[in-house]
Amino acid sequence: MRLQKFLARAGAASRRGSENLMTAGRVTVNGEVVTELGSKVDPLVDEVAVDGRVVRLADGPVTLMLHKPAGYVTTMSDPQGRPTVAELVPAAEHPGLFPIGRLDRDTTGLLLFSTDGELGHALLRPRGHVEKVYTALVEGRPSAAQLEHLREGIELDDGPTLPARVALVEGEAAAAALAVLDVPPAAPEGASRQYARACSARTRDRSIVRIGLHEGRKRQVRRMLAAIGHPVLALHRDAFGPVELGGLPRGERRVLEPAEVQALERAAGR
Q: Is 108 helix (H, G, I), strand (E, B) or coil?
A: strand
CA distance 248 to 11: 25
CA distance 145 to 142: 8
CB burial readout 158-170, b (16+ within 10 A) else e: eeebeebebebbe
Cα 96 to Cα 68, 171, 231, 239, distances in angstroms: 19, 44, 36, 24
Cα 264 to Cα 1, 117, 129, 246, 247, distances in angstroms: 24, 13, 12, 16, 19
CA distance 26 to 239: 36
**Could you count the other beta carbons within 10 Å of the beta carbon of residue 246?**
11
Q: Is 37 helix (H, G, I), strand (E, B) or coil?
A: coil
Considering 46, 59, 78, 104, which one is annotated as catalytic?
Answer: 104
51 a catalytic residue: no
Non-local (6+) Cβ contacts of 34 within 8 A are 3, 22, 27, 28
Task: Show the beta-strand stretches assigned E in 73-205.
Answer: 98-100, 108-114, 132-139, 155-156, 159-160, 165-169
Active site residues: 104
